[in-house]
C-alpha cells in the first residue's frame, strides 16, 4: 500500500495477526487490510505502559484464533524524528512447537510443573516436536499460495527457529540474505531450552545461514546439559529492552523494505508490549507457535 496516513487522522489501533493457517493469501492480497502503521517509540523513550498479557497454555500451543482479514483496520500512532522517512514491512514469525512447549503446555503457565519442565537439561537448545514439524509444513504450503515477499531474513541462532525457517521457507530467493543474530534470541537464563549450541554446530546443519554476527564458542548464557544448577539467572527485562533497541538500530541501517524475522514468544512479546506500543486489547503480546504477525513501520 503506497498510501500515507496522517498522524492527526489515525483511527484507533486494531489487531493485526495471522496464523497463516487461516488465510495468509487473503491477508496479503489486501494491503489496505494488512498494514499497521507504527512509529516506534524507542527514539523518545516514551513507550506507553501496556496491559499485562495472560495467554493460556492452550492458546500458545494451538495457535489461538485468527481474525478475518476483512475485520482488520490497522494503525498505531507514535513519534519518530521528523527527518526519518523510511518505511519497512516487518513479518514476525514465532517458531513452531518445540519439545519443551509440548511438555510444558500440560501445566498452567509459571506453575511449579511448568517451570520444572523447562528446567529439564534434556531440552537443551530445544528442537521441534512432531507437531512443530507439521506446523512448519502447513506454514510452507500457505506461504507458497500467498503473495508474501521479503528481501531480508533475520533468524535467532537457536535450533527451533533455524528449523522453522528452513522448513517453512525452504527456497528463499538467492539474493535474499539470511542472517542469524543473537539479539533476537529467546529470553535466556534458568532454562536449558533457551541456551544455544555453538555456532560451529549450527553451521553444519544450516550452511545456508550467515552466522558471522553470532559470537563463536560456547553460549555466554549457557545452561549446560546436566548442570542446571550452574545456569545464569533469568535475563532481566532491562536486558531484553536493550536487545530490542539493538534490533531497531539494526533495522534502521538496512535498506531492505520487507524483512522476515523468525524468533521467540517472550522476546517478541516484550518488543510488542514496550517498544511498538501494541494494545493488548487488540490481541495478545505473545504470538502462538508458527504464527505470523505483519506490521508496517514508518520512520519519519
Alpha-carbon separation of residue 256 from 1, 86, 175, 218, 290 (angstroms): 16, 10, 12, 31, 24
Query: pLDDT tens digits, the chain, 300 residues: what are they?
Result: 222 222 222 223 333 343 333 334 343 433 333 333 343 333 333 333 333 333 333 323 333 333 333 333 333 434 444 344 688 999 999 999 999 999 888 888 888 888 888 888 889 999 999 999 999 999 999 999 999 999 999 999 999 999 999 999 999 999 999 999 999 999 999 889 999 999 999 999 999 999 999 999 889 888 865 555 578 889 999 999 999 999 999 998 999 999 999 999 999 999 999 988 777 877 889 999 999 998 888 876
What's the angle, vertex CA 288, arms to CA 233 and CA 182, rounded to 5? 45
Taking every pair of Cα atoms in the chain, the longest distance, rounded to a whole number of angstroms, is 57
Per DSSP bridges, beta strands 258-263 and 87-94 are parallel
Which pTM value belongs to this model? Answer: 0.73
Q: pLDDT of 238-260, one tens digit each?
A: 999 999 999 999 998 999 999 99
Average pLDDT, the chain: 76
Beta-ladder partners of 183: none
* Predicted local distance difference test score (pLDDT) of residue 17: 40
Could you give phi then psi for residue 236, rounded to 5 degrees?
-75, 160
β-bridge partners, 298: 87
DSSP 8-state code for residue 92: E
20-45, pLDDT tens digit by residue?
333 343 434 333 333 333 433 333 33
pLDDT of res. 290: 97
- In this prediction, residue 226 carries a pLDDT of 54
Measured CA to CA in angstroms, residue 270 lies from 47, 100, 139, 192 at distances of 12, 21, 24, 20
pLDDT at 300: 67
Cβ–Cβ under 8 Å, residues 259 and 153:
yes
Nearest to 272 by CA among 17, 67, 11: 17
Amino acid at each position: 500500500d503506497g498510501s500515507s496516513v496522517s498522524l492527526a487522522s489515525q483511527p484507533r489501533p486494531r489487531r493485526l495477526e495471522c496464523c497463516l493457517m487461516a488465510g495468509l493469501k487473503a491477508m496479503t492480497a489486501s494491503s489496505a487490510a494488512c498494514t499497521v502503521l507504527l512509529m516506534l517509540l524507542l527514539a523518545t523513550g516514551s513507550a506507553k505502559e501496556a496491559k499485562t498479557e495472560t495467554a493460556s497454555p492452550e492458546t500458545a500451543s494451538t495457535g489461538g484464533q485468527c481474525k478475518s482479514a476483512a475485520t482488520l483496520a490497522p494503525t498505531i500512532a507514535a513519534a519518530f524524528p521528523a527527518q526519518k522517512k523510511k518505511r519497512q514491512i516487518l513479518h514476525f514469525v514465532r517458531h513452531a512447537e518445540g519439545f519443551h512447549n509440548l511438555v510444558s503446555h500440560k501445566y498452567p503457565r509459571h506453575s511449579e510443573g511448568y517451570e520444572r519442565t523447562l528446567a529439564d537439561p534434556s531440552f537443551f537448545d530445544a528442537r521441534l516436536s512432531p507437531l512443530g514439524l507439521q506446523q512448519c509444513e502447513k506454514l510452507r504450503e500457505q506461504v507458497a499460495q500467498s503473495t508474501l515477499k521479503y528481501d531480508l531474513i533475520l533468524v535467532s541462532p537457536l535450533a527451533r527457529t533455524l528449523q522453522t525457517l528452513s522448513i517453512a521457507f525452504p527456497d528463499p530467493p538467492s539474493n535474499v540474505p539470511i542472517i542469524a543474530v543473537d539479539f533476537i534470541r529467546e529470553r535466556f537464563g534458568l532454562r536449558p531450552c533457551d541456551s544455544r549450541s555453538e555456532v560451529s554446530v549450527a553451521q553444519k546443519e544450516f550452511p545456508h545461514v550467515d552466522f558471522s554476527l553470532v559470537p563463536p564458542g560456547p553460549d555466554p548464557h549457557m545452561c549446560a546439559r546436566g548442570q542446571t544448577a550452574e545456569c545464569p539467572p533469568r535475563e532481566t527485562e532491562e536486558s531484553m529492552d536493550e536487545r530490542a533497541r539493538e534490533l531497531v538500530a539494526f533495522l534502521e541501517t538496512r535498506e531492505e523494505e520487507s524483512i522476515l524475522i523468525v524468533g521467540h514468544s517472550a522476546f517478541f512479546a516484550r518488543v510488542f508490549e514496550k517498544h511498538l506500543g501494541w494494545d493488548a486489547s487488540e490481541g495478545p503480546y505473545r504470538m502462538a507457535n508458527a504464527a505470523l504477525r505483519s506490521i508496517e513501520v514508518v520512520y519519519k
